[in-house]
């Protein structure tokens, strides 16, 4: 039934059933407590009933649909593929206030300068990233490449963070498929951690950290969801979220921008498969936070930085959120209630044909 349970590594641990241990997160350089031995039952494959209330192709008052007026007064063009525009409510902007109040004592501030953009994946209001066809995913990857080059090439931009928040549980009520870009005058903390961890590891061992992670994942094999010639998708050994998945090219590229066309195709195909497996898991649109982890663009040496996409899904079950509480918010380390090996097994068992379109041929 459950492949992970057939494997001794995931079963017996201090006489307990399940995994009960601390695992080192080498990219964050912190411990994750895996306490998957408590009242734990693997997901039985059932799904709760979800109303698929018919979402139309086009919605008149959606600020992302083609031809519609946005809050800032601009009108969207009749776009046919991806569409990029500057966020009408930016959290960082080049015109952010530059004359700031001087704070007391050691407190310190500076202008919130940067560029915030929105990328619509498709003109169709009701088509999630998981439902995009191979060609549309390829087109989106091309747009992400262009944006990284364009924004990252600017003197004032030190880092380009591309991310998608999907689902109402992560605060997104508009289903129109889109992601956001924060191009900032600083490097986001997680990327800074990954850069520093990689440098430290290289200094101590002479090896590339992310390559060693891939090597160990392949050596073990239980958490790999799928792979092809040049890309791989896996639940990392040190996953903090139940269905956390990394999708990465096998070769080290500091960003998406330097992937060859073959690598881009392979990467897109695994990305698409991963998204479909997520949706198929509970036959529902699967919520997540999906950041692209790419090297900073501040002129530093990032040859060792290994571009990857991370999925941080907030749900442990269809109706059960992973609450961030004492350990996570209070202490800063994650407590994971599930064994990454089991979660990878569940995802691997999913079909790669989307449940809503299983009978149709992929466009
Ligand atoms: Zn729309
Ligand atoms: Zn990362």
Question: What pLDDT, in 10s, does the model give residues 261-315?
Answer: 999 999 999 999 999 999 999 999 999 999 999 999 999 999 999 999 999 999 9
The pLDDT value recorded for residue 71 is 86
C-alpha 64 to ligand 1 mean position (Å): 5
d(CA 255, CA 189): 17
d(CA 236, CA 212): 12
* Residues, CB within 5 angstroms of ligand 2 (ion): 293
Tokens of 356: 């809503």
Question: What is the band of 72 on the pLDDT scale with cuts at 50, 70, 90?
Answer: confident
C-alpha 62 to ligand 1 mean position (Å): 5
The pTM score is 0.92
Indicate which residues carry an active-site annotation. 178
The pLDDT value recorded for residue 5 is 41
d(CA 146, CA 257): 7
The answer to whether the CB of 293 falls within 8 A of the CB of 307 is yes
Ligand number nearest CA of 126 is 1
pLDDT tens per residue across span 192-225: 999 999 999 999 999 999 999 999 999 999 999 9
Ligand number nearest CA of 176 is 1
The pLDDT value recorded for residue 97 is 97
C-alpha 37 to ligand 2 mean position (Å): 27
C-alpha 141 to ligand 1 mean position (Å): 20
Q: What is the dihedral of CA 6, 10, 14, 16, to 10 degrees?
A: -70
Mean pLDDT, residues 45-52 taken together: 52
């Amino acid at each position: 039934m459950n492949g992970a349970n057939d494997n001794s590594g995931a079963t017996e641990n201090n006489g307990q059933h399940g995994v009960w241990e601390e695992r080192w997160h080498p990219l964050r350089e912190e411990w994750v407590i895996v306490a998957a031995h408590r009242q734990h039952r693997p997901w039985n494959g059932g799904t709760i009933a979800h109303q698929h209330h018919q979402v139309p192709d086009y919605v008149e008052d959606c600020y992302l649909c083609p031809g519609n007026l946005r809050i800032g007064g601009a009108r969207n063009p009749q776009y046919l593929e991806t569409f990029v525009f500057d966020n009408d409510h930016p959290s960082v902007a080049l015109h952010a206030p530059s004359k700031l109040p001087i704070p007391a004592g050691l407190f310190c501030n500076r202008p919130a300068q940067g560029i915030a953009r929105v990328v619509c994946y498709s003109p169709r209001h009701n088509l999630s990233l998981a439902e995009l066809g191979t060609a549309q995913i390829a087109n989106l990857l091309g747009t992400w490449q262009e944006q990284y080059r364009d924004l990252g090439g600017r003197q004032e931009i030190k880092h380009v963070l591309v991310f998608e928040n999907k689902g109402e549980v992560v605060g997104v009520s508009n289903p129109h498929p889109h992601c956001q870009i924060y191009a900032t005058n600083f490097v986001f903390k997680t990327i800074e951690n990954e850069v520093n961890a990689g440098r430290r590891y290289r200094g101590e061992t002479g090896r590339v950290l992310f390559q060693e992670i891939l090597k160990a994942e392949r050596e073990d094999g239980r958490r790999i969801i799928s792979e092809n010639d040049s890309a791989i998708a896996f639940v990392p050994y040190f996953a903090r979220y139940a269905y956390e998945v990394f999708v990465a090219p096998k070769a080290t590229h500091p960003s998406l921008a330097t992937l060859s066309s073959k690598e881009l195709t392979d990467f897109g195909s695994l990305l698409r498969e991963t998204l479909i497996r997520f949706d198929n898991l509970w036959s529902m649109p699967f919520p997540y936070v999906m950041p692209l982890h790419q090297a900073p663009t501040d002129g530093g040496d990032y040859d060792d930085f290994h571009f990857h996409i991370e999925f941080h899904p907030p749900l442990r079950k269809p109706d059960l959120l992973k609450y961030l509480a004492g350990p996570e918010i209070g202490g800063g380390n994650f407590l994971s209630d599930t064994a990454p090996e089991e979660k990878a097994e569940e995802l691997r068992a999913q079909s790669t044909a989307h449940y809503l379109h299983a009978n149709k041929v992929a466009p």
